[in-house]
Amino acid sequence: MTEKFLQTIVKRRSIYELSNHLPIEEKVLIRLLEEGLKHAPSSFNAQSTRLVILLKDAHHKLWELTKAELQKIVPPAKFKPTAQKLAAFSRAYGTILYFEDMEVVRGLQKDFPLYKDNFPLWSEQGNAMVQYLIWCLLADYNIGANLQHYNPLIDNAVKMQWNLPADWLLIAQMPFGSIQAPAEEKPFLPLKDRIKVFS
């Protein structure tokens, strides 16, 4: 492991104070996301993860529809903190939506029935690796990001808004943009309680 790679891993944090600017050109951003998706590992090389990249008006629309869905279930008297959090996400440059194509997962379950029960789990693990890889790529270019999970509350609204396939299962949402404030200090549990080495 090179020092630079290790520094990138350490640099990746949940950044919540984001702006609608990028330190790189948008076409470079898209190439990073494409390469991250392409080269992340997946069980049986399933490549079942799908990305939807929302920029400009589409990005703001996502957080508007998220707000509308949350207003249906959060009491008005308690909605202010939620609205502030959503407004912070909306101030970012864009949002990456992470999906799993469940048609691919079902195909693997059919082709490899011995592992049928494992494929949904392996699918989510593969999606998580894409998320982490892209998060590290963004951090390496000084782009902040955080990970949100308003699914399944917003699933139907998102699919209708962007006419997405019914078999795509929304897993996570990642707002990203220029870093306006660093992440808070992160506590770590003692590694001696987390790692066991045998030889």
Position of tokens 């892209």?
134
**DSSP 8-state symbol, 81:** H
For 132, the token pair is 């982490």
Per CATH, which fold does 3-193 belong to?
NADH Oxidase (3.40.109)
- Helix/strand number for the chain, H first, E second: 7, 5
**DSSP 8-state symbol, 163:** T
138: Cα separation from own chain's centroid: 12
For 150, the token pair is 């308003």
Element (H, E) at 49: strand 49-55
In 15-55, where does DSSP find H-type helix?
26-39
**17-69 per-position pLDDT tens digit:** 999 999 999 999 999 999 999 999 999 999 999 999 999 999 999 999 999 99
- Average pLDDT score, the chain: 97
**111-149 per-position pLDDT tens digit:** 999 999 999 999 999 999 999 999 999 999 999 999 999
Query: Whose CA is closest to 145, among 137, 157, 153?
Result: 137
Provide the terminal-to-terminal Cα distance of the chain, rounded to the nearest Å: 22
**pLDDT at res. 108:** 98
